[in-house]
Amino acid sequence: MASWKGRDILSIRDLSRGDIELVLKAARRMAPIAEGEKSSKSLEGKILATLFFEPSTRTRLSFESAMIRLGGGVLGFSNVEGTSVQKGETLADTVRMVEGYADVIVLRHPHEGAARLAAEFTERPVINAGDGAGQHPTQTLQDLYTIWDERGKIEGLNIALVGDLKYGRTVHSIATALAGFGASLTLVSPPGLEMPWEIVEEVKATGTPVSTTHRLEDVVPTADVLYVTRIQKERFPDPQEYQKVAGSYRVDLPLLREAKKDMIVLHPLPRVTEIDPAVDRTPHAKYFRQAFNAVPVRMALLEMVLGVG
């Protein structure tokens, strides 16, 4: 296992199952601190730089909350307006400059591969907080943590990924990560928005059972986890077609009548119409918990890459 101190977190593929399990366990220890029940000074004197070349308020705030909860400081920018980036500075130069001001760098960038490039220009650990349509490993870790924390395990669970499985990077990353954990996958998408075959092949190559369907109602009785994603209107040239599809992929109370008692519903949020607000009051709804889990997972990563804990 690679040493954690100074390690870059660029892609979920760079992490082995053992690595991920360490993060999950560390995140669970962080939960009481993330909730404000306990306090910690473990990162006192350390500084996190959040370099957001495009806005993503939720991601940035969860990283900043994580750092502050552990007693550390935060600096950075939330968009490029008014920075030297706007004057044409390269990412390589920005990173070399920031290196002098911070101990760990979190980067959000509109271009794919930006985090890997940034990591090559600094000795400081770089955490990828989303690069274009590329990787967003801390989000995947947050999703894995939610499943593991709520269900006590991942192996052997029947996990249904629902919605736009073609374009959603979130769902591609979670599919390949779950495959490494011995879950079985059911892929539920409207026709034309199926999971790309390369990813299905990659998942199957790990020995993970995969089944595919267009009908959400068929998978609800056997699923342990429903991971629901947004179906974007822009994917449909015909608005009526969109209405029809959106309607048949909506999670509501009648649909959940068939579900196992301990089945959980996840969603990376924001949701539009995929989950009826009435579902929020059921014990199945775990998507707000999933959103909160961003903080303990990022606390765990910050401690680990800074060599603390």
Partner 1 sequence: MIDHIPAGMALKVLKILGIDEAVSSTVTVAMHVPSKAMSWKDIVKVEDRELSPREVDKIALIAPKASVNVIRNYNVAEKHVVRLPDRAVGILRCGNPNCITNLREPVETDFFVKPGEPPRAACRYCDRVVEDIPAAIV
- Is residue 267 within 8 Å of residue 93, measured between CB atoms? no
- CB nearer to partner 1: pick between 134 and 163: 134
- CB nearer to partner 1: pick between 120 and 241: 120
Interface with partner 1 includes 251 (CB under 8 A)?
no
Interface with partner 1 includes 8 (CB under 8 A)?
no
Q: How far is the CB of 171 from partner 1 (least distance, A)?
A: 16
Closest CA to 75 of 99, 100, 101: 101
Q: Rounded to an integer, what distance in angstroms lies between the CA atom of residue 254 and that of residue 250? A: 10
Q: How far is the CB of 202 from partner 1 (least distance, A)?
A: 12
- CB nearer to partner 1: pick between 107 and 193: 107
Contacts of 138 (CB under 8 A, 6+ apart): 9, 59, 127, 128, 129, 294, 297, 298, 301
Q: Is 58 marked active-site?
A: yes
Residue with tokens 């052997």: 156
- CB nearer to partner 1: pick between 91 and 245: 91
| CB neighbourhood size of 100 (10 A) | 8
- Is residue 172 within 8 Å of residue 199, measured between CB atoms? yes
Q: Rounded to an integer, what distance in angstroms lies between the CA atom of residue 141 and that of residue 138? A: 5
Three-state DSSP state, 119: helix
Q: Rounded to an integer, what distance in angstroms lies between the CA atom of residue 94 and that of residue 102? A: 12
- CB nearer to partner 1: pick between 88 and 100: 88
Q: Is 206 marked active-site?
A: no
Catalytic residue among 50, 59, 138, 146: 59
Q: Is 172 marked active-site?
A: no
Q: Is 59 marked active-site?
A: yes
With CB under 8 A as the contact rule, the residue among 26, 31, 43, 114 that binds partner 1 is: 114
Number of residues that bind partner 1 (CB under 8 A): 17
Q: Rounded to an integer, what distance in angstroms lies between the CA atom of residue 294 and that of residue 257? A: 30
- CB nearer to partner 1: pick between 117 and 300: 117
Q: Is 271 marked active-site?
A: no
Residue with tokens 């690595």: 19
- The sign of the dihedral angle between the CA atoms of 243, 244, 248, 249 is negative
Burial class, 78, CB count within 10 angstroms (exposed 0-12 / middle 13-18 / buried 19+): middle
Q: How far is the CB of 205 from partner 1 (least distance, A)?
A: 15
Length of the chain counted residue by residue = 309
Q: How far is the CB of 275 from partner 1 (least distance, A)?
A: 31
Phi, psi torsion values for 33, nearest 5 degrees: -75, -40
Interacting residues with partner 1 between 80 and 109 (CB under 8 A):
88, 90-92, 109
Q: How far is the CB of 105 from partner 1 (least distance, A)?
A: 15
Interacting residues with partner 1 between 115 and 174 (CB under 8 A):
116-117, 120, 131-134
Catalytic residue among 13, 28, 29, 58: 58
With CB under 8 A as the contact rule, the residue among 5, 25, 84, 112 that binds partner 1 is: 112
Binding site for partner 1 (CB under 8 A): 88, 90-92, 109-114, 116-117, 120, 131-134
The catalytic residue positions are 58-59, 87, 108, 136
